[in-house]
């Protein structure tokens, strides 16, 4: 009631770990949010209904695109939460095949312990969608064999605080191209602003 009946409020953003949990509380979903199965942007409609959108996929897609070269064909998505679903959707739109990596046994996901040199040969993009390495836990990073990164790889971290996570530092040490989540954050926010003011 507080959200719906506030005349000053046009909408809000949803962050980790609520991007999937929020869905049952919404009356409407945009087509893309429904396909993705995660919401990071809510609009309060003129009739006081809550409509869910996903602007993460747009921010990620626009942020990754300039880095892509013809040999970047497949991606590993570290994590299986709401953010990783948006990343998967963006990769689909870019024509990049992907595989999820998870700590818990999941049907469509690879276990961290099976990632090796061959995996890195096959997957040229590695995207961290886990919160590992976020401030204040700066030393943490996903448990992958960083030595197999090369200059042919892209390491993309959705985290933007700190600016350079341990994940990015270790990949950069092997000459991988690296990018953090700051531009994605800005782009998804601008998209949200448009949705609220339409």
Q: Please, where are the H alpha helices in the chain?
A: 31-36, 56-64, 82-94, 117-122, 166-172, 182-197
Q: How far apart are CA 36 and CA 20, in angstroms?
A: 10
Give all strands (DSSP E) within 64-159, no chain letters: 74-78, 97-102, 109-111, 125-128, 154-157
Q: Does the active-site annotation cover 19?
A: yes
Residues pairing with 108 in the sheet: none
Q: Say whether 32 sits in a helix, a strand or coil.
A: helix
Residue of 19, 43, 51, 191 marked active site: 19
DSSP state of 37: T
Which positions are annotated as active-site residues? 19
């Amino acid at each position: 009631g507080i959200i719906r009946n506030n005349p000053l409020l046009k909408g809000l953003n949803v962050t980790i770990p609520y991007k999937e949990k929020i869905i049952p509380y919404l009356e409407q979903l945009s087509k893309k949010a429904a396909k993705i199965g995660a919401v990071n942007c809510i609009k309060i409609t003129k009739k006081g209904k809550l409509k869910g959108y996903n602007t993460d996929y747009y921010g990620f897609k626009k942020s990754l695109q300039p880095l892509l070269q013809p040999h970047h064909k497949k991606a590993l998505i570290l994590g299986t939460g709401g953010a990783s679903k948006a990343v998967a959707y963006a990769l689909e739109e870019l024509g990049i095949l992907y595989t999820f990596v998870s700590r818990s046994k999941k049907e469509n996901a690879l276990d961290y312990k099976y990632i090796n040199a061959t995996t890195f040969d096959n997957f040229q993009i590695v995207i961290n969608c886990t919160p590992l390495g976020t401030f204040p836990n700066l030393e943490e990073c996903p448990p992958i064999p960083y030595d197999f990164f090369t200059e042919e790889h892209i390491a993309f971290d959705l985290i933007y605080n700190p600016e350079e996570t341990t994940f990015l530092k270790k990949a950069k040490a092997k000459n991988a191209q690296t990018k953090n989540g700051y531009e994605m954050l800005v782009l998804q926010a601008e998209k949200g602003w448009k949705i609220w003011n339409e």
